Amino acid sequence: MSLTVTEKQSAGGVTILEVKGFIDTSTSAGLEDAIKKAHEEKKIRIVLDLSGSEFISSAGWGAMVAYLKKLRSTGGDLKIAAMAEKVEKVFKLMEFDSLIDAFKTVEEAVKNYK
Amino acid sequence: MDKIFSLATTADARNVAVIRNFFAEALRNVFGEEDIIYIEMCLNEMCENIIRHAYGEGHSGPISIRMKTSRERVEISVIDRGKPFNVLDFEPPDNRVLVEQGIKGKLGIKMMRKICDKILYKRLKGKNKTVFIRKRHSCSPAAAGV
């Protein structure tokens, strides 16, 4: 199983990280590295496009949750968009909806930063 | 009628998806999508914990999984020969604490506890045996007669 994370910029200084593949213990470091890199480059308004990811284990969720405070303390945030139904069920089961803003589309997530 | 499915393999990260998919397929004609997703997640987290904690980095060993399904519930027994590892020993932190302290671990245990109605653990003759029980919450379209 592999994971690719592609960085894209949108108008308004929002960084979109397009995630494709399974996010589990063996691949979550790739996601974490992409968030870390964006943060170090002061790209602190992040949207994770999860439309290409059908499976996210606790390791993947951990990579997102662990970075929230760092991003928020510098005026940024991490929002997620376009979760597959399977992924969204787990997101809600874990009550992450009280921690992370989630949107149906990337456009909605980007717009929410304005 | 009860059905039993079992799989024995090596506790290796490369085998986790195979394990998940094998048991998800076995559930497909009786259980609904929601139950299948959660049981898949639970199996994934248990396997990852065995690889990371019971056997530890650089080590591996056998893992055997037995799943018993009935119309009412699913019971999964997972046996490994790693170090003693009891998921019930860990208290999952509150979500806000995870964010506040930047914790990325322990989410798998939290997930398993949310998914299962009961978790049992025994250490027997150098083996860990963990049993997960989940009542059926949803049924497949076929089982519902759709």
Output the pTM of the full model: 0.89
d(CA A15, CA A76): 11
Q: Mutating which of B47, B99, B101, B113 best tests the A interface, going by the most A Cβ atoms within 10 A?
A: B99
pLDDT of B141 reads 66
Task: Count CB pairs under 8 A between chains A and B.
Answer: 77
Question: Residues of chain A whose pLDDT is less than 70?
Answer: 1
Which residues are registered as beta bridge partners of A48?
A17, A80
Q: Which pLDDT does position B105 carry in this prediction?
A: 81
ipTM above 0.90, yes or no: no
The answer to whether residue A84 neighbours chain B at the CB level (below 8 Å) is no
Residue B32: closest CA among B77, B69, B64: B69
Nearest-CB residue to A58 (from B17, B102, B111)? B111
List b or e across A66-93, with b for residues whose CB sees 16 or more CB atoms inside 10 angstroms: bbbeebeeeebbbbbbbbeebbbbbbeb
Rounded-to-integer distance, Cα B18 and Cα B14, Å: 8
Q: Is A36 on the interface with B (CB under 8 A)?
A: no
**If we measure between CA atoms, which residue out of B46, B80, B76 comes closest to residue B63?**
B80
Q: What is the mean pLDDT of each run of 10 residues along chain B (146 residues)?
A: 94 92 91 93 95 92 96 95 94 87 86 95 96 86 61
Q: Could you report the per-residue pLDDT of A21-43, keeping only the tens digit for each? A: 999 988 999 999 999 999 999 99
Closest Cβ opposite residue B105 in set A62, A69, A93: A62
Helix (H) or strand (E) run with residue A46 in it = strand A45-52
pLDDT score of B101: 87
Sign, CA dihedral B87-B22-A85-B133, equals negative
Q: State residue A106's pLDDT score.
A: 96
